[in-house]
A and B are shown apart, each in its own frame.
Chain A
């Protein structure tokens, strides 16, 4: 199937027609005329972005198919404008062998909505004790290039050092969930004024910052590449800024929810706002927004973390950590960063497509919208208004933190490898 997209605004702001044929962008420019049998997509007023790439997604399969499957998560990703997601390893069984990562990779191919790139566990069973067979996962059909114990911190400094060293052999990266475990035992929310008042055990900023400080120094020492997941505090931003100034090879991510929300939400005791790392203070939220705008934080990663209803329909302390994000990330970034003039669409394309593809070493994703490039493309309508209704989202779980919110901007179409996965706002 070939498509002619008429009148889209490229990230540069230039208007162009885009012809998609044979899985590639055949022509970008124009005006172009539709050929016989070519479907025309009216993109007047829409922004064309390279297909989004999520560096941090929980698809839950295998093991927690009640929360999400590779299929439902892939559909959610496509609906949100994504053409590639990195599926975190904390499944059951854990993705710590070539067999499991290949299984996830095959499920992704079978689903057929996005490029599902499995993340391999750093340690066997996420236990933080023994390195998993990283090379086997890297050399498997899944071609794993991102390793993470996400959900758990690689706490042991020796294990972290070994992982950073070992992945150099195949150009991979260690993505760290930075959480000092002893400082966060029983932790429920950001430790600060709000936690002191609502009586929920605190998760101090220093528990994140101390691990990041250690890890950037380890990465420097062994000359390896580090990615920091879901940076949530102003102090973490300062450490990463310092590390980059020292030319340490570190990249970092921020989630839409840490850009948008603060610990004030915990006053409702609604467990939908329980997430790890926790929602922080308004100063922290402003610091991560500023750091995304200035590039200190390289990418937006959703940390899409679906949970079945019963995991959230309970006391805060008993509830699971995590919130969904694939279908709302781009509108949130649009509202917070583009409408406010803090980022251009080129900046968004870099933070949500090009840079995450580079971190994950996904060669055919995150490419510029130019003739000859793979046809991974998202059309976004910045003027659309829609109300988030959890039951109408593609994800199998309802734990979105923006239920009932009116968001500005919506994905109208997504093309993955030349195939339309979303058209007229509907997953196809």
Chain B
């Protein structure tokens, strides 16, 4: 694959193949010498128009473990905030013979525009764009679920599993790419949120929708429960007035002890981070035995190594 722009672009077989490569990458990371020569001589730019130290470090680590040269570039605001234009920034990178551009941008579609422009012929990897997509996050989530609940062997998908995503779906690129990827991998996806935090049009998504978390846990018991980050400012009138108060949100949609106890013994608790402890998730849930939140972070490096390898070497993923 040339680019990774949206999880919706990955079909079942291609998604499985990426996870298989990610497992191979993860295996190399258990060795004493973690560094592979795969991308020696290639240049990867982390182009982050939006702060995300976590995601940037994950991509940077992945690229360096593959021996790529890494340049971190965080423009002080995109043209959205009247800085240098996206076009000029990308043209500049193009002039520096960049092989891959990892893009994080507050505007939905910016990575798609770069990939489909004449500004650069580098591979473009979407590291999160606006409220659109965050495909590597969903891949690392899928890798975590597959490994924990299916064993993580090559060729496996998520069929037969139920994934529940709870929270601010409206503003979440994690939810959008998750729905696309998990359903492509054969999982059943359930969304739980107040209607204010679901997009108009969600009825066309391949997911069942609940507004009541307790009912959802009872009627569609999840194998993996993913709690989305909720920004506190969204409750204010200026922020959109999406819910009345953090207290009400936590009561209605927070993962607390009784809800944790209602989960099946094997069920996983996930969170894309950064967490608002006490709002969408209690510390008890975040730090408990079911939590795979730290593992998600570790798998993020392996998944990003796989994506960089597949896009930058043009390697045909096995089976694709």
A-side residues, CB < 8 A to B, are 191-202, 204, 268-270, 310, 313-318
Contacts and interface: CB of A to CB of B under 8 A. Distances in A.
Contact of B80 (A194, A196, A313, A315): A315
A194 B201 contact: yes
25 contacts: A191-B201, A192-B200, A195-B200, A196-B201, A196-B202, A196-B204, A197-B8, A197-B201, A197-B205, A199-B108, A199-B176, A269-B110, A314-B79, A314-B85, A315-B105, A315-B109, A315-B110, A315-B113, A316-B108, A316-B109, A316-B113, A317-B130, A318-B78, A318-B79, A318-B80
A197 B169 CA distance: 11
A76 B129 CA distance: 38
Contacts of A199: 108-109, 129-133, 173, 176
Nearest to A186: B240
Contact of B176 (A192, A197, A310, A316): A197
Contacts of B112: 269
B182 to A, nearest CB: 15
Contacts of A313: 85, 87
Interface in B186-202: 199-202
Given A314-B87, A318-B80, A193 B201 contact: yes
Interface in B95-136: 105-110, 112-113, 116, 129-133
A125 to B, nearest CB: 22
A191 B86 contact: no
B158 to A, nearest CB: 21
A38 to B, nearest CB: 51
Contacts of B205: 196-197
Contacts of A196: 199-202, 204-205
Interface string B72-90: 0000001110000111000
Nearest to B82: A318
Nearest to A270: B113
Contacts of B203: 193
A201 B112 CA distance: 17
Interface residues of B, number: 30
B200 A315 contact: no
A313 B91 CA distance: 13
Contacts of A315: 78-80, 86, 105, 107, 109-110, 113
B28 to A, nearest CB: 34
Nearest to B131: A199
B64 to A, nearest CB: 29
10 shortest interchain CB distances as A-B pairs: A196-B201, A199-B132, A269-B109, A315-B107, A196-B199, A199-B131, A199-B108, A193-B201, A193-B204, A317-B107
Contacts of A202: 199-201
Contacts of A195: 199-201
A268 B87 CA distance: 16
Contact of A269 (B80, B113, B199, B204): B113
Contacts of B201: 191-197, 202
Nearest to B85: A314
Q: Which residue among B176, B200, B203 has the maximum number of chain A CB atoms within 10 Å of its CB? A: B200
Nearest to B133: A199
Contacts of A201: 131
By CB atoms of chain B within 10 A, which of A193, A199, A269, A270 has the most?
A199
B134 to A, nearest CB: 10
Contacts of B108: 198-200, 269, 316-317
A52 to B, nearest CB: 35
Given A197-B8, A202-B201, A269-B113, 11 more contacts: A191-B201, A192-B201, A193-B204, A196-B200, A197-B205, A198-B132, A199-B133, A200-B131, A315-B80, A317-B130, A318-B78
Contacts of A200: 108-109, 130-132
Contacts of B113: 269-270, 315-316
Nearest to A188: B108
Most buried by B among A201, A270, A310, A315: A315
A399 to B, nearest CB: 16
Contacts of B110: 269, 315
Nearest to A194: B201
Nearest to B119: A313
Contacts of A197: 8, 176, 201, 204-205
Contacts of B79: 314-315, 318
A310 B88 CA distance: 11
Contacts of A310: 85
Nearest to B87: A313
A90 B130 CA distance: 30
Nearest to B109: A269
A191 B8 CA distance: 20
Nearest to B130: A199
Nearest to A269: B109
A53 to B, nearest CB: 37
B36 to A, nearest CB: 34
Nearest to A191: B200
Contacts of B199: 195-196, 202
Nearest to B113: A269
B86 A314 contact: yes
A241 B110 CA distance: 41
Contacts of B86: 314-315
Contacts of A204: 200
B107 A316 contact: yes
Nearest to B202: A196
Contacts of B8: 197
Contacts of B105: 315
Contacts of B109: 198-200, 269, 315-316
B74 to A, nearest CB: 16
B289 to A, nearest CB: 35
A196 B203 CA distance: 10
A392 B44 CA distance: 40
Interface in B244-298: none
A268 B116 CA distance: 9
A194 B176 CA distance: 12
B131, B133, B173 — most chain A CB neighbours (10 Å): B131
